[in-house]
Amino acid sequence: MGDPAGATLRVSEIFHSLQGESTRVGLPTVFVRLTGCPLRCVWCDTPYAFSGGESMSIDSILAHVADFACATVCVTGGEPLAQKACAALLGALCDAGYRVSLETSGALDITGIDPRVARVMDLKAPGSGEADKNRWENLALLRANDELKFVLASRTDYEWAVATCRDHALFERCPVLFSPVHGALDAAALAQWMLDDRIPARFQLQLHKLLWQDARGR
């Protein structure tokens, strides 16, 4: 076997910003956006990450990340797990002392990820057009330090998310986050539904969109 640190990945961008989602929202974070995704969600805001990118070794990624002098790193995409070397990158970041999270669609197997990594899984609602790609076996693998995110475009999506959480006891498994699709679902309406139904999930808006809209690298 070769040296994992010498493995290469396709990287769309590495940048320093504020975390816009999850329980880490607002934290200064270095984002490593890997290239490639097997999904085509209707509301995807990073289609530029579907292809292209730059081939980088894990060592070179670590060096670039270190330039920002930031303790928190998020590996995102695209779908990071579409690249086999993603797990090695996550482990290397943890070994380097970073607080690491992984943003994943939940369409690919999440086993084999370093347990020090917080896995933020975005389970796809029907309105995404990709709900049939959900890998339901992943739900049983979620731990208390992981997070489950639902991005919702309609009342139908909301009711589906609530039923999914109740059917699989997800509210008891890990933090659950409900987020409206920016520009598609009224945020106040979603918030009121959650309050009316006593939903024990965290309501969230995408901070980066409020601050910078869809600017790349933010």
Q: Which domains does the chain have, with CATH numbers?
A: 4-212 (3.20.20.70)
Is the model's pLDDT at 2 over the cut of 60?
no
Q: What is the mean pLDDT of residues 131-146?
A: 96
CB atoms within 10 A of CB 152: 24
Return left, alpha or beta for 106; rule: phi > 0 is left, psi -120 to 50 is alpha, else beta.
left
pLDDT of residue 1: 40
Q: Are 100 and 125 in contact (CB under 8 A)?
A: no
Q: Which pLDDT tens digit goes with each residue over 170-193?
A: 999 999 999 999 888 999 999 999
pLDDT of residue 180: 96
pLDDT of residue 44: 83
pLDDT of residue 121: 97
Q: What is the mean pLDDT of residues 49-64?
A: 95
CB atoms within 10 A of CB 18: 15
- The percent of residues in the chain predicted with pLDDT above 90, rounded, is 81
Q: Which pLDDT tens digit goes with each residue over 79-108?
A: 999 999 999 999 999 999 999 999 999 899
Q: What is the mean pLDDT of residues 145-154?
A: 96
Q: Which long-range contacts (CB under 8 A, 24 or more apart) does 23-26 make?
A: 23/147, 23/175, 23/177, 23/202, 24/72, 24/74, 24/101, 25/204, 25/207, 26/207
pLDDT band of 126, cuts 50, 70, 90: very high
- The percent of residues in the chain predicted with pLDDT above 70, rounded, is 94
For all residues of the chain together, what is the average pLDDT?
Answer: 93
